[in-house]
Amino acid sequence: MSSDMAWSPLLLTLLTHCTASWAQSVLTQPASVSGSLGQRVTISCSGRTNIGRFGASWYQQLPGKAPKLLVDSDGDRPSGVPDRFSGSKSGNSATLTITGLHAEDEADYYCLSIGPTLGAHTVLQAWGEVRHKLAIPTVMGLPVQS
């Protein structure tokens, strides 16, 4: 048996392990969430990594704007972010809570965690108080993951 053949099973095992590890690192969020103005809304983010240990950051992307950090992985809000936004984490999941939904909160929301993970994405749809018509937000360049 040649030395090249002896390495093949080892290489295959390593590739399989790395592929499986990467596949387990994907974060998932609901594709869309909707709520009435003034309502408390939550967006979940889950994965097979320990988000409770590593933390998760939440970003908001308004139509035509760059993503903006809402809550960092320690649960802190940058200056200028309203206190109606809060983040929590436990085990393999994280949650963004918006207390008292405003019309301007209608946007795309992204969850990101450190380590070998992929981000996830949720579209938040805010319902108007008077007409109760659903406003359809624009998805800005990134695919919606379910």
Over residues 72-124, the pLDDT tens digits come to 988 899 999 999 999 998 888 899 999 999 999 999 999 887 755 445 555 65
If one looks up domain 26-127 in CATH, what number appears? 2.60.40.10
**137 φ, ψ to 5°?**
-75, 160
What global pTM score does this model have? 0.65
SS3 (DSSP) at 78: coil
Which residues fall within 8 angstroms of residue 43, CB to CB, at 6 or more apart? 29, 30, 33, 58, 95, 96, 98, 109, 111, 122, 124
Which residues fall within 8 angstroms of residue 42, CB to CB, at 6 or more apart? 33, 95, 96, 97, 98
Give dist(CA 33, CA 122) in Å, integer. Answer: 7
Q: What's the pLDDT score for residue 115?
A: 58
Over residues 6-65, the pLDDT tens digits come to 433 333 333 323 233 334 457 788 888 888 999 999 999 888 767 777 788 899 998 898
Strands of 85-90's sheet in order across: 41-46, 93-98, 85-90
Tokens 């240990």 — which residue? 53
Domain layout of the chain by residue ranges:
26-127
Give dist(CA 108, CA 56) in Å, integer. Answer: 16
Given a cut of 70, whether residue 132 has pLDDT beyond it is no
